[in-house]
Structure 1
């Protein structure tokens, strides 16, 4: 097995899904790959770079859904895709939220949302608001899901959560259209 960035990323995402972000450490990733932690640093400069790569992988369906830049999807469709992609991974919202604080990924995601907003003739300033709403809503939903799972509580109502998300997007778009 030749150690490479892709293998490290795949392993980190497997650990994320199994144990959560708090347990995705460079040491644990190295242990899962049966290499010394220092070996990872040939491929990634630090854990923040690993988190950014994980976020980019999680958001791949949103950033480049068909492997090439297609025309801008409807805003609602794009944000539903964002929500689904992030919720597909345990602590995915924390990973994406952390990585979106870095300019390169934030700019790329914002460009995609801005294109969708512009295609609908809505005020372009709505793109940043929609992005902030999207990540905030998903962070909150994922926390509620984890709490319910940890406490053996009532599971999150998937349909109600999706409908609430859609209503939030619609409200922002309606306000921006005024």
Structure 2
């Protein structure tokens, strides 16, 4: 049976969600698809390009239209939506973080944040830094949440699930800082 690129990505997401990122290998994926591993290289030059496609698909699936009008409210919506998209799949935060760190893809969240921040008139350099800071906060916080949940589920730690997340409060602190810079104007870089 011949599989299309989209089929391979969909199956890779199932493998990711079932076994985790460490076990998302070309060999396992090929076995799940009932093909030889070499057949996957017809669609992806290496495992990293497969992971990039999987990360982009997870982000695409999690995307939702913005309801907010104000730039700071859009930023909160984007960051919350990204967190939800990452939490929807096992090791989602680790996968997307890795793909971004390697410069292989998953650039949509950054691009969306830069666009949302434009009305804040931070200037290109500071808007870029603000978008990266927001992205790092979301990825780091979500990675911590997923790792804690998975470790608890596997019995690796004795902690109970955390009663509630402080994601919103932390995000609010970051957005407050950006809002402060925005009120100072474009030339306030200190």
- Distance, in Å, in 2 between the alignment partners of 1:12 and 1:156 is 30
- Distance, in Å, in 1 between the alignment partners of 2:61 and 2:177 is 27
**Cα gap change, 1:28/1:107 in structure 2, threshold over 3 Å: closer, same or farther?**
closer
Post-superposition Cα deviations, 1:57-88, rounded to whole Å, max 9, x if no partner, equal 111145x536xxxx877111111100000000
Q: Contact 1:61 / 1:81 at 8 angstroms: preserved in 2? A: no
1:150 match: 154
- Distance, in Å, in 1 between the alignment partners of 2:79 and 2:102 is 20
Question: What residue ranges of structure 1 are gaps of 5+ in the alignment?
Answer: none
Q: Contact 1:20 / 1:90 at 8 angstroms: preserved in 2? A: yes
Counterpart of 2:145 (choices 141, 144, 149) is 141
Question: What residue ranges of structure 2 are gaps of 5+ in the alignment?
Answer: 181-190
- Distance, in Å, in 2 between the alignment partners of 1:2 and 1:106 is 27
Post-superposition Cα deviations, 1:110-133, rounded to whole Å, max 9, x if no partner, equal 1111112224x2632321110111
**Cα gap change, 1:59/1:7 in structure 2, threshold over 3 Å: closer, same or farther?**
same
- TM-score, normalization: structure 2? 0.80
2:23 match: 23
- Distance, in Å, in 2 between the alignment partners of 1:55 and 1:140 is 18
Q: Specify the structure having the higher radius of gyration (Cα).
A: 2
- TM-score, normalization: structure 1? 0.86
Q: Contact 2:52 / 2:104 at 8 angstroms: preserved in 1? A: no
- Distance, in Å, in 1 between the alignment partners of 2:89 and 2:121 is 31
User: Number of residues paired by the alignment?
Assistant: 168
2:4 match: 4
- Distance, in Å, in 1 between the alignment partners of 2:106 and 2:8 is 23
1:50 match: 50
- Distance, in Å, in 2 between the alignment partners of 1:98 and 1:88 is 17
Superposition RMSD on alpha carbons, in Å?
2.1
**Cα gap change, 1:128/1:147 in structure 2, threshold over 3 Å: closer, same or farther?**
same
Q: Contact 2:78 / 2:109 at 8 angstroms: preserved in 1? A: no
**What secondary structure, in the 3-state scheme, does the structure 2 residue paired with 1:59 have?**
helix
Q: CA deviation at 1:144?
A: 0.6
